[in-house]
Chains A and B, each alone.
Chain A
Amino acid sequence: MIEKDKLYSIWVYLQAEPLFWLTLTIGSYLIGDFLYRKSKLFPLVNPVVISITIVSLVLINLNVSYERYFDGAKFIHFMLGPATVALAIPIYKKFKFIQKEALSIFVSLIVGSLFAIISTFVLCKLFNINDQLLFSMLPRSATAPIAMGVSELIGGIPSVTAIITLLSGIVGASFGTFALDLLKLKDMAARGFGMGLASHGIGTARAMSRNETAGVFAALALGLNGIATAILVPLLLKLLNLF
């Protein structure tokens, strides 16, 4: 048996290396993904949430600072930028669809995007939410890398935006279908578009698992609303002289 002191010194050595935190992050995500598949893609069993929970529990129990963890995990975080650029591909692939239904896509994109931003703004004001949190919430319907970038730009806290964006995704994916059924909407393209617009990647994954057309339009809305939010949020704040 290895002595306790020796075990401790191995741990001290390992936890200073980025490799440990990278391995932990990937491993915890694989566990989350496994559970998600086991639950037959049940929207409330989210691999990201599971992974975040596991890593956070490890950090808290071993008394490791977030800065030390991020020093390793920043390599994963870095890829969010290139991933945003890569969104050009699904948008390009669905370009024929965009041209065919250009008018309805354009109108519901602009109205939906504006509604998401303005309703968040009005509700925040109504509930006396402070400005920093308000700015962190405004871009929440865009896909996270874009939402976080916008948040940083307008004076929000990107990591707070990340959880609120994640929440928007989970809420939409879990309860969005009920709203669509309530409105008696049958057009799969329209249903998917709404999910992708308000709930980005998580909503898109959900739509894709239900119906292919819905999935295609959700991915399209995810990309388009990312761009629309990036333009509209700073623009609206400028109009209100808040930015």
Chain B
Amino acid sequence: MLRSIFIIFFYQLMGEAIKKIFEIRIPGPVIGLVLLLITLILLKRLKTKFVNNLKKDVADTSTYILKYLSFLFVPIGVGVVMHFSYLENNLSKVLFIVFVSTILTIGISAFLMEKINKRINKK
């Protein structure tokens, strides 16, 4: 458990460092995510007991953290209520934009994927 937390924190730390060093405009944790993904793919063939145990450890801890992903939004969400006056004048506009854009995005991406898969499967 402790070493998997270390690994996750370490990758985030590397992400933050890389963001700073190369002045990349991507959040540090996202760079950490990509680095961890690349590491996992590179380690795919390395099937020693140590690596396997470590991978399982990291996977278990990650799954556990992600189970409570929505809970982690509560503190910032409370901040939103404090920011609500900022949104108030625009509330109906914001709701409209979010509604239209979200529904259309779901439709378009799902539509494209189904049509392309159908075409590929026909061949």
Chain A positions near chain B (C-beta within 8 angstroms): 25-26, 28-29, 47-49, 51-52, 55-56, 59, 66, 69-70, 73-74, 76-77, 79-93, 95, 101, 103-105, 107-109, 111-112, 115-116, 119-120, 123-124, 127, 129, 133, 137, 140-141, 143-146, 148-150, 152-154, 157-160, 162-164, 166-168, 171-172, 175-176, 179-180, 182-183, 185-187, 189-191, 193-195, 197-199, 201-203, 205, 221, 223, 226-227, 230-231, 234
Q: Place the interface of chain B in its size category.
A: 35 or more
Chain B positions near chain A (C-beta within 8 angstroms): 5, 8-9, 11-12, 15, 25-30, 32-34, 36-37, 40-41, 58-59, 61-63, 65-66, 69-83, 86-87, 90, 93-114, 116-118, 120
How far, in whole Å, are A197 and B110 apart by their CA atoms in the complex? 9
Chain A residues whose C-beta falls within 8 Å of the C-beta of B100 in the assembled complex:
119, 123
Would you call B76 and A193 a contact (CB within 8 A)? Answer: no
Selected from B63, B107, B118, the residue in CB contact (under 8 A) with A179 is B107
How far, in whole Å, are A202 and B79 apart by their CA atoms in the complex? 20
Chain B residues whose C-beta falls within 8 Å of the C-beta of A205 in the assembled complex:
70
Interface centre among A88, A95, A157, A183 (most CB of B within 10 A): A88
Task: Contacts A86-B8, A187-B113 given; indicate if A115 touches B108 (C-beta within 8 A).
Answer: yes
Selected from B74, B82, B98, B114, the residue in CB contact (under 8 A) with A190 is B114
Chain B residues whose C-beta falls within 8 Å of the C-beta of A56 in the assembled complex:
78, 81
Chain A residues whose C-beta falls within 8 Å of the C-beta of B104 in the assembled complex:
115, 119, 179
Chain B residues whose C-beta falls within 8 Å of the C-beta of A85 in the assembled complex:
8, 11-12, 15, 29, 32-33, 36
Task: Contacts A79-B65, A129-B93, A146-B27 given; indicate if A112 touches B73 (C-beta within 8 A).
Answer: no
List 9 A–B pairs whose Cβ atoms lie within 8 Å, in order of A's numbering: A82-B9, A83-B72, A86-B65, A107-B116, A111-B112, A129-B94, A144-B76, A159-B79, A187-B114
Would you call A127 and B109 a contact (CB within 8 A)? Answer: no
CB nearest neighbor in B for A70: B75
Interface centre among B9, B11, B28, B106 (most CB of A within 10 A): B106
Name the 10 nearest CB pairs between A and B, nearest first.
Answer: A149-B27, A112-B109, A194-B110, A86-B62, A73-B75, A84-B29, A104-B116, A190-B114, A190-B113, A88-B36
How far, in whole Å, are A73 and B40 apart by their CA atoms in the complex? 32
